[in-house]
Structure 1
């Protein structure tokens, strides 16, 4: 009976344990790399004659998406997740990455481009709706964007974030869950996992969870319909990039530097408050419209896995 807790009727580790082991391995790997980054940062600061207490304080303040150190730390975190998935999928499931939807980029290029366009368009619409309705205020002029280095580093960062989160939630979790249950349950559970991954983010609310869940369902629908991850990866990349590094919103509660700078006129259920637009009703509406767009206009045959 004790064995049945870990092993299913097909003599394979249960999906929940597979996901948990990958996540634990990722957490440990990330912890080690972050400690290494912290040590290197501390040594460099001490060499410049900065006292230890100030260094510790500066280190804590620097671990945000809008700082160089936070940028490096996030890239390493994404790399740790990608590496964890590759190791456990290739070495333990002994299957190619295309089985979790990561097909050759040449074959998925068209889907990637469609996803990139959809993500950019969706957040542009969100921005203008919030601006026109007076739920946000633009600091500066619309015809005077402030192009900076964050416009470049942001796209690099969110490429990694998009690949990392899609590989884990839509690729690994969905595929592993589908091994022991039907795809609809796998779809729901993997979407819940994706939403739960943001639980520690600043400003999260009930509506934030709802929108994260809807985003996950949309990305999963796109993955099933296209038969690969590149469509949802494209959506995820430009969704985050335009939200943060173009329009200057909070990205799931994380501060970024955009070529535009906006602030909420008042934190409310429309603009999402301190979680950013993903915590607001405008994003709920846009996600529903994205579902309708994919259902109506995306023509590739659904892959019934």
Structure 2
């Protein structure tokens, strides 16, 4: 019973952290609506403000745990080791970008998307800001889901339940997104399991945070597809889903809901377990 209450409390607090992340973007949109009634806030500019504003979560956690002088807890919820940072970050970003590119290429060659170039030199500043913004957003979600949820639950219930519950919490956090479907939920669950495994085997969040940020950046500003149901982020390419091919393009929710994406994420998770069991100091009990 105590463990159940602990899990419930942890998930509620994690939900509040995600709610905190949305405050800066909500404030900016509210200010815009008040000063310019009728103006659209569904634009790359406001999305960028929302993404960068999510940095409020790691700042809050740093201040909170340092004020309590509880650095051990901070290392659990925000495990960022100081060794080989560039290497881990670079590998994570490369994995995220290339994995999405492969999934997207399969969809395009299978007839799931029509794609056109929409790039303009006027987009360069916004392109860079979105690159930074998606890194902040992706890393923040990893801090909440793989740092806070997975880290705390590992202490009470062990690695298996920590990975499962952090992935379920991550997928559930997107249920309010436009176009969400069962396939989309499964795709996000597979993504959550992959990053949870990376957090476990590496012992920190550098790699999975970079992977998450790279995936979302490739998905939206670069290739111009919906980012888990969020549209309107295209800056380099604009890709339109072809009807009757949801198993390739994921429909309105985006490519995470495609069968191709789910299969590739499962295969990548299996590869992560294989390499992790072979080379990492952390080992899953597979017996």
User: What TM-score, normalized to structure 2?
Assistant: 0.85
Per-residue Cα deviation, 1:101-150 (whole angstroms, up to 9, x for no partner): 5224553322211111111111111121111111111225xxx9656233
Instruction: State the partner residue of 1:41.
Output: 32
Cα 1:36/1:114, change in 2 over 3 Å: closer
Q: Indicate yes or no: 2:252 matched with 1:261.
A: no
Aligned-partner Cα distance in 1 for 2:69–2:250 = 40
Instruction: State the partner residue of 1:83.
Output: 59
Instruction: State the partner residue of 1:206.
Output: 182
Q: Please, which of 196, 202, 206 is the counterpart of residue 172 of structure 2?
A: 196
Tell me, yes or no, if the aligned pair for 2:177 and 2:229 is still in contact at 8 Å: yes
Instruction: State the partner residue of 1:48.
Output: none
Aligned-pair CA distance for 1:283: 0.7
Q: Indicate yes or no: 2:249 matched with 1:271.
A: yes
Bigger mean CA deviation after superposition, 103-112 or 240-249: 103-112
SS in 2 for 1:270: helix
Aligned-pair CA distance for 1:266: 1.0
Cα 1:300/1:86, change in 2 over 3 Å: farther
Aligned-partner Cα distance in 1 for 2:30–2:119 = 37
Aligned-pair CA distance for 1:91: 5.1
Instruction: State the partner residue of 1:138.
Output: 115
Instruction: State the partner residue of 2:265.
Output: 287
User: Which runs of structure 2 are paired with 1:124-203 in the superposition (5 Å)?
Assistant: 124-140=101-117, 148-149=123-124, 150-203=126-179
Aligned-pair CA distance for 1:235: 0.9
SS in 1 for 2:114: strand
Structure 2 gaps of 5+ residues are none
Aligned-pair CA distance for 1:263: 0.8
Aligned-partner Cα distance in 2 for 1:133–1:43 = 46
User: Which runs of structure 2 are paired with 1:15-30 in the superposition (5 Å)?
Assistant: 15-24=7-16, 27=19, 30=22
Tell me, yes or no, if the aligned pair for 1:254 and 1:275 is still in contact at 8 Å: yes
SS in 2 for 1:253: coil
SS in 1 for 2:239: strand
Tell me, yes or no, if the aligned pair for 1:243 and 1:249 is still in contact at 8 Å: yes
SS in 2 for 1:248: coil
Aligned-partner Cα distance in 1 for 2:20–2:87 = 36
Aligned-partner Cα distance in 1 for 2:260–2:60 = 35
Aligned-pair CA distance for 1:178: 1.8
SS in 1 for 2:86: helix
Tell me, yes or no, if the aligned pair for 1:248 and 1:261 is still in contact at 8 Å: yes
Aligned-partner Cα distance in 2 for 1:237–1:246 = 12
Instruction: State the partner residue of 2:6.
Output: 14
Cα 1:293/1:304, change in 2 over 3 Å: closer
